[in-house]
Amino acid sequence: MLSENTARLLKQGAIWGFIVLELIFFSVAGHFLSLSEGAFMDLDNMLLLLKQSAPIGIIALGMTVIMINGNIDLSVGAIFALSAVVLLDSMTWPIFDGLGDWVIPVSWLLALLTGTVLGAVNGLIVWKTGVDAFIVTLGSMLGYRGLVFMYNGEQPTSELNWTLVDFAEAQFLGLHTATWFLLACTLALWLMMNKTVHGRNAYAIGDNCDAAVNAGIRVGPHMLKNFMLIGFLSALSAVVFYSESGSVNPNDGSLYELWAITAVVLGGTKLAGGSGSVISTFGGVIAIQLLRKGLGYIGSDTETVNLVIGLILIAVLYLDRQLNRKGKEELRI
C-alpha cells in the first residue's frame, strides 16, 4: 500500500515522467531505426511539436476545467469547426470591405463570440433542464455540426489573408504564435483554477456537489461560465489554426473531443470531477504529440499512433484504479 502523499505525488508527476520516458525512448530507438538525419530532440523539431500541439491543447485545457467541474463536453469539435467557418467567411463579408486588414480583429472577435455563445447554449441547457452534460453535448455535437454543413454544404470555406498567415507563422523568442497562445492559455487557466474563487468553487462542485450546494455555492452559474469558457477556447483554437491554413472543411475538428478528453485523462484529471490540473493536461497534450511525432520518427506507420494512444489511455486508467484501491479488505461489489 502506498501512502496518500506518495500516491498523490506519483499521480501528479506521472505525466512528466512519461514524457521523459518517451523522449529517451525515441532518441535511443531513433538512433537505430530512424531514416532521417536529424536527432529527435532537435530544437526545431521540438518547437514544431509545441506549435502542432496548440489546437488540441487549447481545447484540452478547457476540457480540463469542464471535467474538474464534473461535466463533459463532446461538442468542442463542432464548435471549433463552426467558429472556423465564421472566422474565414466573415473576412469576405461585403460590409467589412472598407476595413482592409482591420477585418482580422473583427473576424477574430466574431469567431470567438460564436464559440462563446455556442458554449453558453450548452451550459444553459445543462443548468436549466438538468439533463446530463454528456447527452446535452452529444446532441449539440450533432446540431452544431449540422449548422456547419448548412452554412456551406460540403464545400470547404476558404479565405487566405496573407497578413494573417504572416502573423500566424511568426516566431517570437523562437516560439511560434500558436505556441504563445497555448502557453498563455495554460497560464491563464492555471491562474483561474488556482487563484480565483470561481476556480476553487469549480473544484468544490466537482468534488462534492451536495457539500457545495449546502455551502451556498451557486452551482448553475459556475457551470455556465465553464461551458462558455470551453466554447471560447474551442473558437480560439480555431482562430489559431485557421489563421494559418485559411481553409476549413465542414468535417474538420471531428474527433477533437476524443483527443482532448484523452489528453485530459492522461494528465490525471479525475473523471468524476473535483481533481485535476491544467498543467498536467498540458503535459498530456505534449505526451500525445510526442508519441505521434516519435512513432513517425522511428519509422512506424503514423497509423500505429492511434493504436498506441488508445492502449496507453486504458493502461493509465488501469494504473489509476490500482493506485486507488483500498486493499484486500475492500467489499467486492
Partner 1 sequence: MATMTRSSITNILAKQGILIAFALFIIGFALANNRFLAVDNVLGVIRSSAILGVMALGVTFVVISGNLDLSVGSMMSFSTIVVLDLHDKLGPLMAIPAMFAMTMCLGAFIGFLVGYLKLNSLIVTLGMLSAIHGLTLTYSGGKNMDIADKQGTWFGFFGRSDILGIPVPILFFAILAILLSILLSRTPFGRKVYAVGGNGTAATFSGIPRARIVFLTYVISSFCVACAGLLQASRSLGSQNTVGQGLELEVLAAVILGGASLMGGSGTVFKTVIGVLILGFIQNGLLLVGLDFYVQYVVTWVIIILAVWLDIAAKRGRLLSPIA
Partner 2 sequence: MTKGTPALRLSGIVKTFPGVRALDGVSFDVMPGEVHALLGENGAGKSTLMKTLAGMHQPNEGDIFIEEKKVVMRSPMEAKAKGVVLIHQELSLAEELSAAENIYLGELPTKSFGRVDWATLYDKAGAILKRLNCSFGPKTIVGDLSIANMQMVEIARALTVDAKAVIFDEPTASLTDAEKSVLFDIIRDLKARGVGIVYISHRMDEIFTISDRISVLRDGAYRGTLITRDTNEEEVTKLMIGRSLDLTRNVQPAEMGDVAIAVKGLSCGKLFQDISFEVRSGEVLGFYGLVGAGRTEIAETLFGLRTPSAGQILIDGEVVRINSPVDAIRRGISLVPESRKEQGLVLGMNCKDNMTLPQVGDLTAGPFVSDGAEIAIFDQYRDKLSIKTPGWRQKVGNLSGGNQQKIVIAKWLSMQPKVLIVDEPTRGIDVGSKSEIHSLIRELAKQGYAVIVISSEMPEVLQVSDRIAAMYHGRLMRIFTSQEVTEDNLVQAISGLNSERVA
305: cell is 499512433
> CB of residue 129 vs partner 2: minimum separation in angstroms?
21
CA–CA distance from 312 to each of 36, 54, 175, 256, 309 (Å)? 26, 21, 29, 18, 5
**For residue 112, which phi and psi values (nearest 5 degrees)?**
-65, -40
Whichever of 183 and 217 has its CB closer to partner 2, that residue is 217
- Would you count residue 299 as binding partner 1 (CB under 8 A)? no
- Would you count residue 21 as binding partner 1 (CB under 8 A)? no
The DSSP annotation for 131-152 comes to: --HHHHHHHHHHHHHHHHHHHH
| 3-class SS string, 2-50 | CCHHHHHHHHHHHHHHHHHHHHHHHHHHHHHHCCCCCCCCCHHHHHHHH
Whichever of 321 and 332 has its CB closer to partner 2, that residue is 332
Whichever of 208 and 304 has its CB closer to partner 2, that residue is 208
Q: Which stretch binds partner 2 (CB under 8 A): 134-142, 192-200, 237-245, 285-293?
A: 192-200
* Binding-site string for partner 2 from residue 225 to residue 264, where x marks contact by CB under 8 A and - marks none: ----------------------------------------
- Would you count residue 201 as binding partner 2 (CB under 8 A)? yes
> CB of residue 263 vs partner 1: minimum separation in angstroms?
12
Is the separation of the CB atoms in 149 and 252 below 8 Å?
no
- Interaction partner, residue 327 (partner 2, partner 1, none; CB < 5-8 Å by kind): partner 2
Residue whose C-alpha is closest to residue 233's, from 69, 129, 77? 77
A 10 A CB-CB count for 41 gives 12
* Binding-site string for partner 1 from residue 250 to residue 279, where x marks contact by CB under 8 A and - marks none: ----xx--x--xx--x-----x--------
- The Cα angle at residue 99 between residues 94 and 101, in degrees rounded to 5: 115
Q: What is the crossing angle of helices 76-90 and 103-129, to 10°?
A: 150
- Would you count residue 13 as binding partner 1 (CB under 8 A)? no
Is the separation of the CB atoms in 230 and 65 below 8 Å?
yes
Whichever of 159 and 320 has its CB closer to partner 2, that residue is 320
Q: Which stretch binds partner 2 (CB under 8 A): 25-33, 86-94, 226-234, 322-330?
A: 322-330
- Interaction partner, residue 135 (partner 1, partner 2, none; CB < 5-8 Å by kind): partner 1
Binding site for partner 1 (CB under 8 A): 74, 125, 127-132, 134-136, 138-147, 149-150, 153, 213, 218-220, 254-255, 258, 261-262, 265, 271, 301, 303-314, 317-318, 321, 332-333
